[in-house]
Amino acid sequence: MKFLELVKKRYSARSYTFDTVEQEKLDYILECARFAPSAVNYQPWKFIVVKSEENRRKLSECYPRQWFANAPLYIIICVDNSVAWERQSDSKSHADIDAAIAIEHICLAAAEQGLGSCWVCNFDLDIFNLNFSLSPSQYPVAIIPVGYVNKLPDGTSKRKELSEIVLTM
């Protein structure tokens, strides 16, 4: 499959079957994330895989949407600012940027494996912190539900034309 075909195949899936994701597919997705580039190759991320019924319920408390609760597994992408590279001129941490690259690797790898995924960043951080213990320097960037899609999208999402988003100087 050509890269553009894969990119077009990936979308934000919001309907999952209850089918279990095979361990080989999950391992492949995580291996793709592991090879994501990061600033100065610091790799400030941790990937937490949530499969158990109890922890899936705890995640659903952080983001109470029915479609979200139905996913068979989740990958929580966390970063550690103490490990991330900082730009010298303004001390800007690149942890979130590094996480975003890894997240998209996860989503593209899931699509390649015939699975759906969705970035979820709008979760309740206070509830998350009550339900899950991370080290003080770590924080979750996104929760990615992963699974077999129950309902395919009705069509492609509308995308802006290149002329609307590209500026040549």
* Residue where the block lists tokens 């050509």: 2
Residues 99-110 pLDDT 10s: 999 999 999 999
Domains in the chain: boundaries? 3-146
CATH of the structural domain 3-146, one choice from 3.90.1150.10, 3.30.1950.10, 1.10.10.10, 3.40.109.10: 3.40.109.10
Residues 49-95 pLDDT 10s: 999 999 999 999 999 999 999 999 999 999 999 999 999 999 999 99
| DSSP per-residue codes, 5-62 | HHHHH--B---B-SPPPPHHHHHHHHHHHHT---GGG---EEEEEE-SHHHHHHHHHH
Among 110, 102, 100, 99, CA closest to 29: 110
Mean pLDDT of 104-126: 97
3-class state of residue 140 by DSSP: strand
Among 104, 82, 101, CA closest to 93: 82
- The pTM of the full predicted model, rounded to 2 decimals, is 0.94
